[in-house]
Structure 1
Amino acid sequence: MTIQITRREHDAGALRWQAGRTTEAPVARRLLALALVLEGHNRTDAANTCGMDRQTLRDWVIRYNEHGIAGLSDRPHGGGAAAKLSVEETAQLAIWVGKKPTVAEDGVVRWRLCDLRERILARFFVLMDERSVGRILSALGFSHISVRPRHPKADAEAQQAHKKNFAELVAAAIPPAAHGKPIELWWQDEARVGQQGSLTRIWAERGSRPTAPRDQRYHWAYLFGAVCPARGVGAGLVLPHANVHAINLHLQEISTQVAEGAFAVLTLDGAGWHQTGDRLKVPENIGLLHLPPYSPELNPAENVWEFLRQNDLSNRVYATSEAIIDACCVAWNKLIAAPERIRSIATRDWAKTVTS
């Protein structure tokens, strides 16, 4: 039995117009098939032209008669197994993962899927597969990622205050002689690179334990680096030691990279060679701003080192000290040649450029 199109609010031209506007390709095909039917075309031909059979076209005619154009969209799939955890239980799971476990309370130092599976069974009497637990965590916005070190003496309140008051701290680091000049924000740090290198994650078959070369010798060099995210530029030196003489050389190098007529506020940590009184020779176009103690996470230069290690300086064996120096130079110059990458890595929303 042939089902006739009974709705009359749209003619064939209107359906074609709607097909041109929709972003859903299946809906567009269904609209065009109905338009062909309204124009008097054979239903078999109309169905074949729009990539469906005659019975399917008949079903869409019924849907169109009942619900109009809205009825031509794919309905969300219904049914399926009910969620094993209630909304309240899922929220409790998020709390467990968010606050992280302790040995005293939870018996583990990090959550594994099997640990959470057992906790769910013990607390909610719900038996779940580990993969199901993983899917819930993914839906809650959690991901299995690496952590970064945090010093036990780090002061979270001081770190928040530093970010909140950053503009005022920058202004205080600008001497009267630099007032009225353009201000650049620079970030500085040092990284030790050597034969006791670092390893990084790689893609490998699930369940395998891939290997990577790592030297057991103890030669290294120090990569002194500083970046200005706003301009996408940097200044680096590879030196044999980290001391006041080395930082003075680096300050001079940074000074040459500051834009002509500008003044740079250089943020750096509280290492001893960064705070040596009269022995520290700070160029006239640079002012120093020190981070709170034990707060490397506030320094974007730390992320620069992470990027270089992940992409250029890990999983390697250096035969000589010269090889270490060469590798550092190549990695740093490669970064400097990509200003947008510097901006991407080192820009912080809370570190705003200020005018003097």
Structure 2
Amino acid sequence: MARKLPALGKELVDRIEEAWQQPQADWARKRLLVVRLIALHQSSVAEIMTIAGVCRQTVFTYRDKVVAEGVEGLLKRDWAGARTPAVHGAVEDEFKAKLEAGDFRQARDAQKWIAKRTRKQLTESGVRKLIHRLGGKLKVPRKSHRKKDQAASDAFKAELPGRLAAVVGERPDKTVRLWVLDEHRYGLLPVIRRVWSRRGVRVHAPYATTYKWGYLHEALEIDGANDAQLLFTPAINQDIHALFLKQIACSDPDSLHVIIQDQAGFHLRAEDPRLPANVRLLPLPPYCPELNPVEGFGRLLKAPTANRLYSNLRQLEDHLIAVARYWTKPGQVRSLIHGWMREQTNAGAPL
């Protein structure tokens, strides 16, 4: 038989109202709201549950407590607070720094570090929850060449406006268009990528060892029209690179085109006579591919071709062209450009 809510005595009701008028913590206010609704005797248990946001048992628990111990007992909280987590404060900041540096290959590595640093033993499950709470995620690290100079990479970002001004001059007589350029190799050897599948089921991808390659040259405009230029070639060398630079130059002959590119051996240098007259080169620091947004463009083009076999390069190129139609739209090109690069180029370059 369902429990009913009998009327509370007048003296108890007066005390509830008196407490209700006084400042209270959120948890105390909720308890008083429940018993106050009971005292008013105008709402059913279901309605009180909805109004106060509590379960049915809580309504009766608060009602029994206020009857047995009065308002003072209702507002007494036997709670000493949550226990202090093992990783907090300065230790938490240190742990986050190690996460950002990729120092933990497994949750077990983090578990050992926490035990050594705090002398507290967490379970592996607890460590994973901690990592997720702090924004951690299992990732495949990006390769970084041992010769990379991080200081040079940081300096390029900071000095980009000045370097652009030095390349184009303080008062260029033409409209300046700024590009980032790179190349990607594609071929009939399949690219194997992860796929979603059911747990316990082994997924297979078609594979054949076929060594036939082609090269896709890509240039993305950093700002302005956010244009894109592509060129498919069977090989890659300085003459072919000169051909791609000529393609960019001819896309807008009346403008000055500044090309940001890496220092690959098959890239032209600023003094090369094959360089078009309206093209200027701005080299990236060595071994810093993360500075070039075109790296991401190449990965996006290749993604739909993963785990698939193609009978010939033309078939693969047709698929790449179809994918490129989407990613070469101005809005998509803009989304690929690094925010710092767009800000820095607009900070001092006469674009």
Structural RMSD (CA): 4.1
Alignment partner, residue 336 of structure 1: 328
CA contact (8 A) 1:199 1:212 kept: yes
Q: Quote the offset at 1:131 in angstroms.
A: 1.7
Deviation at 1:334, TM superposition (A): 2.5
Which one of the candidate residues 260, 263, 287 is aligned to 1:294? 287
Asked if structure 1 preserves the Cα contact closer than 8 Å seen for 2:268 and 2:275, the reply is no
Shift of 1:150: 1.2
Instruction: Give a deviation string over 1:197-253, Cα, whole Å, max 9, x none.
Output: 432222234566644334311101101111114233211011111112322222233
Q: Is 2:163 the counterpart of 1:169? A: yes
Corresponding residue of 2:256: 263
How far off is 1:153 after superposition? 1.3
- 1:212 equivalent to 2:214? Answer no
In structure 1, the partner of 2:350 is 355
Match of 2:135 among 138, 141, 150: 141
Match of 1:83 among 71, 79, 85: 85
The residue type paired with residue 323 of structure 1 is Q
1:236 aligns with 2:230: yes
Aligned residues: 317
| Residue segments in structure 1 that go unaligned for 5+ positions in a row | 11-26, 102-109
Give me the whole-angstrom Cα distance separating, in 2, the residues matched to 1:237 and 1:228. 15
Contact 1:251/1:283 (CA < 8 Å) preserved in 2? no
Q: Which amino acid aligns with 1:47?
A: I
Q: Tell me the residue number matched to 1:47.
A: 48
Contact 1:181 1:262 in 2 (8 A): yes
From the superposition, tell whether residues 82 and 163 of structure 1 become closer, same or farther in structure 2 (CA, over 3 Å).
closer
Change (3 A) 1:54 1:46: farther
Amino acid at match of 1:111: R
Q: Distance in 1 between matches of 2:80 and 2:326?
A: 52
Instruction: Report what 1:116 is aligned to.
Output: 110
Q: Deviations over 1:86-130 (max 9, x none)?
A: 6555455445545555xxxxxxxx621123334444665533221
> Counterpart amino acid of 1:244?
Q
Separation in structure 1 between the aligned mates of residue 122 and residue 328 of structure 2, nearest angstrom: 50
d(CA) in 2 for partners of 1:125 and 1:9?
46
Shift of the alpha carbon at 1:179?
Answer: 1.2
Match of 2:59 in 1: 56
Q: Distance in 1 between matches of 2:185 and 2:122?
A: 46
How far is 1:164 from its partner?
A: 0.6
TM-score (norm: length of structure 1): 0.72
Out of 124, 135, 139, the residue aligned to residue 130 of structure 1 is 124
Work out which of the residue numbers 212, 215, 226 in structure 2 matches 1:222: 215
Where 1:349 maps in the other structure, the secondary structure is helix
Which letter does structure 2 place at the counterpart of 1:293? P
Contact 1:304 1:346 in 2 (8 A): no
Which runs of 5 or more structure 2 residues have no equivalent in the other structure? 1-6, 22-28
Checking the alignment, whether the CA contact within 8 Å between 1:220 and 1:321 is kept in structure 2 is: yes
CA drift of 1:141 comes to 3.1
Give the SS at the match of 1:6: helix
Deviation (angstroms), 1:57: 9.0
Q: Distance in 1 between matches of 2:255 and 2:59?
A: 71
Query: What CA distance in whole angstroms lies between the structure 2 residues aligned with 1:222 and 1:206?
Result: 38
Of 281, 287, 311, which residue of structure 2 is paired with 1:319? 311
Which residue number corresponds to residue 154 of structure 1? 148
Residues 293-341 of structure 1, C-alpha deviation per residue, up to 9 Å, x if partnerless? 12211111111112222x323222221121232222222222113x322
Does the 8 Å contact 1:33/1:47 carry over to 2?
no
Q: Is the 8 A contact 1:183 1:355 kept in 2?
A: yes
- Please tell me whether the aligned partners of residues 33 and 57 of structure 1 are also in contact (alpha carbons under 8 angstroms): no
In the superposition, the TM-score normalised over structure 2's length comes to 0.73
Determine which structure has more spread, i.e. the larger CA radius of gyration: 2
2:122 is paired with a residue of what secondary structure? Answer: coil
Counterpart AA for 2:135: G
Write the distance in 2 (CA, Å) between the matches of 1:143 and 1:335: 27
